[in-house]
Amino acid sequence: MKLEGLNVVDLSWFLPGPYLTTALADHGARVIKVEPPTGDPGREILPKDRRTSVFFRNMGRGKKSVVLDLKSERGRADLFRLACEADVIVESFRPGVAARFGVGYEAVKAKNPRIVYCSISAFGQDGAYPGRAAHDLALEAMTGVLSLTLGDDGRPAIPGIPIADLVSGLHGLSGVLMALLRRQTTGKGDYIDVSMHEALMASCANVVGSAFNENKHPDVKNQRTTGGSAFYRVYDTADGRQLVLAGQEMKFIQNLLGALGKPEWAKLCEWPGAHQKPVIDFFVATFKTKPLQHWMDYLATLDICYGPVNTLPEAIAEPNLLKRGFMVTDADGRKHFGPVVRFRDEPSSPTYREPLLGEHNDLLKADAAAKRLVAH
């Protein structure tokens, strides 16, 4: 696999860092997950199966678990040794905590100049809010994402997935891989400072036009991706389900309006805005006349962008995911997501099993013994 031979120490919890390190483990890296004696809090997130939480199954797979008490001198010494022997460290403590544990970047770099060290924090290492805690929802609020995500009552609606967590993990992953690539030339690692705040703010590049140009908040209900386009909306069907139209290119507009006998309305859909109300009202009335499956069968005959609003059980049973083998069932009947990045000539082979707490503590003894042999 692409990352065989890469040694990673994972000091992160919850989603941003583990999302990053799971991708590394899926492609062959040895990821040592350092846990406190009580275990990663992710192990307790409900629901659980007979082994552990489903969350930890997804974020812990393929990793090694070692337990270290970082409040003890021995625990900190063991962690420093692991860090000095690693290629990559990923941590998600508040700024300054890793240094207090003796494994800050400068301390590790002094012993291991090849280290690629990634810190993911809410506001960055040197931001305006040093030491301030924040999870995804606070950052969605601060970046304006919630002000763009409105319910029917006009109030901010909480998105269904933690977007800041995911995009910061992906930015961290790209930073780690860039630093590893550069290290092949320079022989030196680097420090990566990922701010979840910045990662999510950068994800708003397509919606900040009015804020950048006029210092104004957009008229959300009339924007092309937040309600102002008939071809980018959610519609109810006769059976209480929903479908979406999700393609605003003129060919898709003409295909559907032509098929429904309203080709002259295509001109109204060139730009988003209140002038599209007749088209929206027409779709609202039309889609309510038949159940969801009728419309899925009908829309499949046209070249347009559409989809059903699936429940999660329906989503993981989607024929496309099954055909491509993305949904994996292990020997114990437990479901897993397959890797998203697929290499043709050197595919990944993930280990669909999460470690027991402290299952690989022998690695601490083995690494210490190897170091003593080298010293002698």
Beta-strand runs (E) in 190-342:
190-195, 232-236, 242-246, 306-308, 327-329, 335-337
Phi-psi domain of 187 (left: phi exceeds 0; alpha: psi -120 through 50; beta: other): left
Q: How far apart are CA 32 and CA 34, in angstroms?
A: 6
Instruction: Supply 339's token pair.
Output: 């890797």
Residue 165 designated active-site? yes
Is residue 69 within 8 A of residue 36, CB to CB? The reply is yes
Instruction: Supply 246's token pair.
Output: 């999700």
Q: How many CA atoms lie within 13 A of 367 on its CB side?
A: 18
User: Strand 30-35 relative to strand 7-11: parallel, antiparallel, unpaired?
Assistant: parallel
Q: Phi first, then psi: give them for residue 23, nearest 5 degrees.
A: -60, -40
Q: How many beta carbons lie within 10 A of that of residue 288, not counting itself?
A: 13
**3-state SS class at 325:** coil
Q: Which of 26, 87, 165, 193 is catalytic?
A: 165
Q: How far apart are CA 191 and CA 130, in angstroms?
A: 18
Residues acting as catalytic residues: 165
